[in-house]
Amino acid sequence: MKLKYLFGAALMATTLSVGQAEPGKHLSPELLLSMARLGDAALSPNGKTVVYALSQPSVKDNNSRSELYTVNIDGTARTQITATKSNEYAPQWIEGGARIAFMSNETGSMQLFSMRPDGSDKKQITDIEGGIEGFRFSPDGKQIAFVHQIKYGKTTKDLYPDLDKATGRVINQLMYKHWDEWVETIPHIFVASLGNEPIKQGKDILEGEPYEAPMKPHSGIEDFAWSPDSKSIAYASRKKEGLAYTLSTNSDIYLYDLASSKTRNLTEGMMGYDTHPTFSPDGRYIAWISMEHDGYESDLKRLFVQDLKTGAKSFLTDAFEYDVDAMEWRADNKGLYFLSCVKAEKNIFEVDVRTHKVRQITSGQHNYVSLQVESGQMLAGRQSMLVPTDLYQVNIKTGEAKAITQENATLLASLDGSPTVEKRWIKTTDGGNMLTWVVYPPHFDKSKQYPALLYCQGGPQSTISQYFSYRWNARLMAEQGYIVIMPNRHGVPSFGKKWNEQISGDYSGQNIQDYLVAVDTLKKEPFINPKAIGAVGASYGGYSVYYLAGHHEGRFSAFVAHAGIFNLEMQYMTTEEMWFANWDMGGAPWDKDNKTAQRTFANSPHKAVGAWDTPILITHGEKDFRIMAEQGQAAFNAAQMRGIPSQLLIYPDENHWILRPQNSLLWQRTFYGWLDKWLKK
């Protein structure tokens, strides 16, 4: 085991001038949910001014209000430019910086508006029935592309008009549900000319095609782009329906020509996800993120570039074994900036188009989550486990970063101390080295004993990086007096392909051993009470909790599972994205000759309920179509029938994530109430 370094107190020192710490005050669920949250931000074309959205949750009103602000790139002159009863989102600079475009729901649906940078002279640009979900102005300023939902398939009322009060759905094919919705609409990209506002309709560039662009459930405007000459639009789409759609991740990048209305596939023969098309400033090249394998949604995200004149493709990050996220072209067309998570820290990099050489620009124990470059200035969003997202001005040459916003500095400075984040490397049972974050409570005293929590990550291919979560918040856990153990077990990205791919087809294998070795290593420390350790997690982390409940050999005194997989066979046949189930489970339960699949289903957590002996809290949302709520109900029923202390918290109106403010606060209170009951005796 190697002790790398400590982090936390020094960062808090930078904010103490903002306010005075209050003795005994610690971060609570109520304070966490009161924090302001940064939304989209945009840097003006001259690189001098930033406009950004800032939302303020209200537990009392059970909603959140979003307004727009501007601030100079050096952090001065912060100004609120909207103050309405509606919500304003997604600001973009238009007309060379003379105006700001943004979305607002003030008319009852989300529409596009514009105003001057001081908030005056507001004008409505669209009046689309049903609203829009995203927009991009053409570079010449004469057109807009926007996302709008269109009807998909026939409803019961279409089939039987006389049954206008019938609520049943007649279903003939997959995928009839996705994430948290019944699929009755799909997003398409529309184009409209400016000059006669408000615009009430546009031209559907996928007219007659029953495909999504952007792709559900989480894609947005990052998946389409205007060419610099404003003559074409590149977009990502998975042009499949029914069973083929639910089995495949093979999307492509398409180029739509506005004059001819013709579309061509730029990535024909590339079999995985192809997303995030981005044109070079001169329009000659297009870059995008590409995965190699069909059906593997957690494949390595590779950066590709195509010469639109010759058609030649180039794999720019061929020597870089880490995911590429958001990217931005350099002004000279010779390289790109991008985000990548390496060893659980997400930083800014650049790659040279000709040499493929990658240079790391920033470093440190944090996550950069966005970037934009205008007139030589780089704007980036940054967060850590201890501090939510703020905006930074980044020196492209040195990587030095200066905070532009400190939206929650006063609240954080009022807290009595800060948790400390330690980076440890723990030897795994197969000889590997596992980065494990250990988060200590404020004013940690190694002469005392503390209860501890093993945090089991979901995904399953999802890194425990330096993210700040409003649900599973490491700082909040530590501020309640827990030492938090967060292992980046096998099966998470940012540690190379081999490490990431281990978990596919082996949910109960090496990664579970990684959890156990992390706990066994840390509980040897005299400051951890070995009789007061809990295991908590969501999604695959919830699966891990259910599995550990039957195989922990007395290591844990309490469990919390949210949206977890309890019965793998039931999960295979009830989830919506079947490519995910096929790849991660290895195949179908009826495929008796498939050794990988049969091993997976043989190790389903529900088969070890007979060994359960530890109190467990189970939470789930009934709108969760990824992992159905019946999984949580089955686990709770089993625990009850076994006489095990157990509790079920279930939401009829939440999906895989608990998002509404009062529901979130109920979840946090129930979560800590359960843990405190069993671990702080």
Active site residues: 539, 624, 656
Amino acid, res. 428: T
Residues 6 or more apart whose Cβ sits within 8 Å of residue 593? none
CB 507 within 8 A of CB 460: yes
CA distance 45 to 26: 41
Torsion (CA) 609, 610, 616, 620 in degrees, nearest 10 = 20
Ranges assigned E (strand) in 457-527: 483-487
CB 363: neighbour CB atoms within 10 A? 11
DSSP code at position 97: G
Closest CA to 101 of 122, 129, 84: 122
C-alpha distances in Å from residue 631, one per residue of 34, 358, 476, 569: 32, 44, 27, 11
Lookup: tokens for 26: 């610690």
In our burial notation (b when 16+ CB lie closer than 10 A, e otherwise), range 307-346 reads ebeeeebeebbeebbbbbbbbbbbeeeebbbbbbbbebbb
For residues 364, 366, 371, 377, the Cα torsion angle rounded to the nearest 10 degrees is -50
Cis-peptide into 460, omega within 30 deg: yes
Return all residues near 525 (Cβ < 8 A) that are at least 6 apart: none
As a dihedral over the C-alpha atoms of residue 190, residue 191, residue 195, residue 200, rounded to 10 degrees, the angle is -20
Looking up tokens 């529900």 gives 606
